[in-house]
Structure 1
């Protein structure tokens, strides 16, 4: 075994042990194992994209519904309820993920999502719809914390940036699926009406049921096990992965760094969590909070009310909104896919700040053209495609930043805290504000909202350029020292 005790535990001394598990995971070549892991777990972002798109694409049908009769402001409020659920779900399940394990929680959160989104199809009034959207968001928020930490802890360091951005970009495959589903199900010639929007919410539930068996083979994160005093179990999992490589004739590179020396410890108390986040790593906390807040306002404000802009200012029929979401989704997916590799090669600091800056500047320009009525609906869609090509990479990099720059013991909760703070500040305010601005029918008022979003992105670019961490190609344990790592072995 390569995980070994340094000395026997005693009544006065904690158990110390050495492990090279992180180095062994980072040296692995990319194979089918990593691909299947990413597919089984990364589909969370697809589900989120599906839910967000459905909320926007069916907004016209929700307003026309004889049961719900929602106004523009209430459509924005529904978006806010989803975000509120995601915020609280992330905090609760993030805390549980660090205490109980990654694997256990990504089944719990998936079950909550499936049940809540299926129940949304049976909403009987506005209040029930808002509650079920809240619970759906809670499931997705919990998924983010459990899944982000698991994927990062299995992914070799040299691939981490590109993999993380690409996975986050699959949000937009879900957006495209939601758009296509809404086009079909809202078409009066096919389904349409009250039944159409209800069936739309069944798409996510069916997809979620398909995901469950895909996750059954995924083991617990060895990195989580090694810091929770289960080094032998972590060793068995890593040895099993390495054995499959050797059985296929794949030679493993030599281990290129010394083992970590860790001590067994109890679950991290919340007091130590917040001291680590906001005292020991306060500069990183500022960067993470700024990046997530800016992108949350930018995205949620615009995308949750995307359909309202099309219907209210460009007279696009509500059943045709999905056709305009498809090119928008394509630009968003291609951004992380095509730019993601540069985050590992050029570096985090340059690429993150650059994509945030470009996004803010382009939104300012397109907002002015919109306000002056200088572009039609096709040109507006093209403008949003270009803007969000860069913004999607920027938003994905925000999740990458908070997931890789804090200690292993608090990684899931760190993701949750900054996701909650950022999304709460930017995501709750954004949809409600933009819904109210669109309700006025004045393009100038909508422009003011765009300028706020652009300003936040530009400010975040400056913060990242000044204080962002250069984490590219670095092992997670070097980017942020584990709390359980032995500092002095004398």
Structure 2
């Protein structure tokens, strides 16, 4: 079942709408995960917190997103995309408000963890919904736009940080509260979106699926063919690790883990790394870190605009190669200047975000079948969060024990690992329908053999 045959203005308007609202969730993810790095120097001075508490604050939302992606990704496949699509935004609103009014660092850690549950949930939900409504020829661009909006949210965190600096002691609270305002706006616009027809047909609700297609496209198809997809009630989680699907699962989890380890380990501490070179000027720290974030955004825009032209495979291999080279140069230079750090960090995030940072919204939705698409995406998101946690927790401790350069050599090795994973495992899915891609992983099922056997 696909939307390629419904090439009309009504369908395209809806596809843009669902992409924009899903991208709103990605924007919130990027904002909320980045704003804590912007706010850290302010509340750290106010509360006098130690290095261990800083790492807990930084990683709390990532720990939460690890759990949220696993639990709510599975619930999304069980109870529907729409229900969880709205519920996770409520977590953004409620817990973003609570973080802004935290009386001490421990309340902040708890509320950031709870906020992370919603952040983790939104990755598999939003990317799945966009992929299931998108046409196959433009699916890459629509899906990668979610990654682009993540980095728009990251840049917005720096812009908001600069805007509220005149508030003094209340500046960091204002930064966190703005995230709740953004979430409330997205929440109200998401309420009226319909359920995914792919999910409905996978659960035997064919008439409802036809109704949704008619509502979205203005045309009612005679039927919907999902014969190449495993039925929802016959798709246990173990199918992700059987046959050809196993390699797909390992690839998605592997490259995303490497990307997150390197990206979060560096980007979440960019202000901290740069701070000693600015002689205590908080505004200059935010400006310099913001430049790096902007280059990361530019990288994601490049990836979005060439993913359906150049292809997924060459894009992700180039992305990891560029990231690895930049990290290697950073690690090799022992006495860098502020300008050198800004340039090399910018190059690193530009390359990483042009492939790994946007294709993590594409590959999971393309390589997992409908009945397990959100579950598989949630699993991959959770594995990536393990990498994120390692990055944000291990990096400051490695710096303290060995220094910046030794820590950067470790991340260069992670980048190299990601490069090798992509070279040997990355498939090309450009211009192919979701059912066609899914059929490759269980071809015997399409020929009449049961799903369990096909994945054996």
- Same-fold status (TM-score > 0.5): yes
Cα distance in 1 for residues equivalent to 2:267 and 2:305: 26
Is the CA contact 1:344–1:472 (under 8 Å) kept in the aligned structure 2?
Answer: yes
Residue among 242, 249, 253 paired with 1:285: 249
1:210 and 2:185 equivalent? yes
Is the CA contact 2:229–2:435 (under 8 Å) kept in the aligned structure 1?
Answer: no
What is the TM-score with the length of structure 1 in the denominator? 0.85
Partner of 2:40: 59
Partner of 2:301: 337
Cα distance in 2 for residues equivalent to 1:26 and 1:131: 47
Partner of 1:297: 261
1:488 and 2:440 equivalent? no
- SS at the partner of 1:345? coil
Aligned-pair CA distance for 1:314? 4.3
Cα distance in 2 for residues equivalent to 1:211 and 1:46: 10
Q: Deviations over 1:297-339 (max 9, x none)?
A: 1111111111111113543523443212322222111212123
Aligned-pair CA distance for 1:58? 1.1
* Structure 1 unmatched runs, 5+: 1-20, 247-253
Cα distance in 2 for residues equivalent to 1:42 and 1:230: 27
How does 1:101-140 map onto structure 2 within 5 Å? 101-140=80-119
Higher deviation after alignment, 174-183 or 200-209: 174-183
Cα distance in 1 for residues equivalent to 2:201 and 2:112: 37
Q: Deviations over 1:61-81 (max 9, x none)?
A: 12111xx32223322221221
1:324 and 2:324 equivalent? no
Q: Deviations over 1:227-265 (max 9, x none)?
A: 111111111111222228x9xxxxxxx99xx94437995
Aligned-pair CA distance for 1:266? 5.5
Cα distance in 2 for residues equivalent to 1:28 and 1:456: 45
Aligned-pair CA distance for 1:157? 0.9
Distance 1:213 1:85, change over 3 A: same
Cα distance in 1 for residues equivalent to 2:6 and 2:425: 26
Q: Deviations over 1:40-96 (max 9, x none)?
A: 11111211111122111111112111xx32223322221221111000001110010
Is the CA contact 1:360–1:457 (under 8 Å) kept in the aligned structure 2?
Answer: yes
Q: How many residues align?
A: 446
Is the CA contact 2:19–2:146 (under 8 Å) kept in the aligned structure 1?
Answer: yes
Partner of 1:249: none
Distance 1:197 1:414, change over 3 A: same
Partner of 2:176: 201
- SS at the partner of 1:63? helix
Partner of 1:48: 29
Distance 1:159 1:316, change over 3 A: farther
Is the CA contact 2:38–2:158 (under 8 Å) kept in the aligned structure 1?
Answer: yes
Partner of 1:401: 363
Q: Which has the higher helix share?
A: 2
Cα distance in 1 for residues equivalent to 2:281 and 2:41: 8
Is the CA contact 1:331–1:385 (under 8 Å) kept in the aligned structure 2?
Answer: yes
Distance 1:24 1:180, change over 3 A: closer
Is the CA contact 1:175–1:325 (under 8 Å) kept in the aligned structure 2?
Answer: no
Partner of 1:459: 417
Partner of 2:210: 235
Distance 1:264 1:161, change over 3 A: closer
Partner of 1:31: 12
Residue among 172, 175, 196 paired with 1:221: 196
Is the CA contact 1:292–1:398 (under 8 Å) kept in the aligned structure 2?
Answer: yes
Cα distance in 2 for residues equivalent to 1:276 and 1:420: 15
Pick the structure with greater CA Rg.
Answer: 1
Partner of 1:378: 339
Cα distance in 2 for residues equivalent to 1:451 and 1:267: 47
Is the CA contact 2:230–2:371 (under 8 Å) kept in the aligned structure 1?
Answer: no
Is the CA contact 1:228–1:264 (under 8 Å) kept in the aligned structure 2?
Answer: no
Distance 1:153 1:368, change over 3 A: same
Aligned-pair CA distance for 1:101? 0.3
1:81 and 2:60 equivalent? yes
Partner of 2:453: none
Partner of 2:374: 412
**Runs of 4 or more consecutive aligned structure 1 residues displaced over 6 Å after TM superposition:** 482-485
